[in-house]
Amino acid sequence: MDRAHWWFQGLVAGSVVILPATSALAAPVNVAIAPLVAQQSVPGQPSVEERFAQHFQDLGVEGAIIIHDVNQNVTYQHNRDRNLQPFLPASTFKILNSLIALETGVIINDLAILTWDGIERMVPAWNRDQNMRTAFNLSAVWFYQVLARRIGHDRMQQWVSAAGYGNQTIGSPAAIDNFWLEGDLRITPQQQIEFLQRLHRNDLPFSKAAIATVKDIMIVERTPDYTLRAKTGWAGFGEADQAEIGWYVGYLEQGENVYLFATNIDMRQDSDGPARLELTRRCLRDLNLL
């Protein structure tokens, strides 16, 4: 589950590598790139990869990150093995859940209100009526559980499969409102990047209106220089001796350039909540993107 109260506060081991993008990602476009992306190594200074690794160490977290430069078709990543490991998507699934809910019409639009059921939940801001915009921003679990139940198991499975999301396994009908939190659905950081690429390119099996709405509610920061769209996530393994997992996924648009990112870390203490965001922002700054 996403610990949404940390949303407002923002974000080792493993090698750092730079790899060419896989065939699942789009072909490069010949446009200008950010200066430091073109300067991977400066004599006498740490490389981009070394700086990524230093941020994990400085923030005291273990995990992985991918930043994919769409126009250059270059992927910068820390901890390649982990980036190929599947995890529960947790609240990052709200991106797809929003698309499916809008496409199926179980909610009319992003401003339609769902009435709070009166049950007190862990985040006080959840305990009120919500629309999709507020629920997405607050990561209100109950709101998206209602949408999932309205969508229903068969339609949910159809759309998750059509979108090619992760392992496409949502489990039994009884798991319809928690399969992304503690069920069978899994997605790797690399698959998050591929899903986000398709979202950005309007290459998912949803209407233009649904995609445009979800892109809009994903915006967390907009400046004259860039637009940042993202979603957090926080999930547990269900085993006391293993760390919970934190996500921060999305993409940054800087002019005509697009940079997809997926951050995945072990969540061992509450302060690791904002560390997801801080880690991502530091790595984006290393590429001169913020």
- 149-208: pLDDT as tens digits: 999 999 999 999 999 999 999 999 999 999 999 999 999 999 999 999 999 999 999 999
Instruction: Reply yes or no on whether 271 is catalytic.
Output: no
Q: Using one digit for the tens of pLDDT, what is the confidence trace for 237-250?
A: 544 445 699 999 99
3-state secondary structure of 83: helix
Mean pLDDT confidence for 207-229: 97
Share of the chain above pLDDT 70, in %: 83
Q: Which of 15, 23, 47, 91 is catalytic?
A: 91
CB-based contacts of 44-48 (< 8 A; 24+ apart in sequence): 48/18, 48/76, 48/286, 48/287
Sorted by where each starts, the structural domains of the chain and their CATH numbers stand as 4-286 (3.40.710.10)
Contact status, residue 66 vs residue 279, Cβ threshold 8 Å: no
Lowest mean pLDDT of 3-17, 52-66, 106-120, name the range.
Answer: 3-17
Q: Find all residues with CB under 8 Å of 185, minimum gap 6, and list them.
A: 88, 89, 93, 160, 165, 166, 167, 168, 169, 170, 171, 179
Q: Using one digit for the tens of pLDDT, what is the confidence trace for 4-53?
A: 444 333 332 333 333 333 333 333 333 333 333 334 556 677 888 889 99
Full 3-state SS string of 135-152: HHHHCCHHHHHHHHHHHC
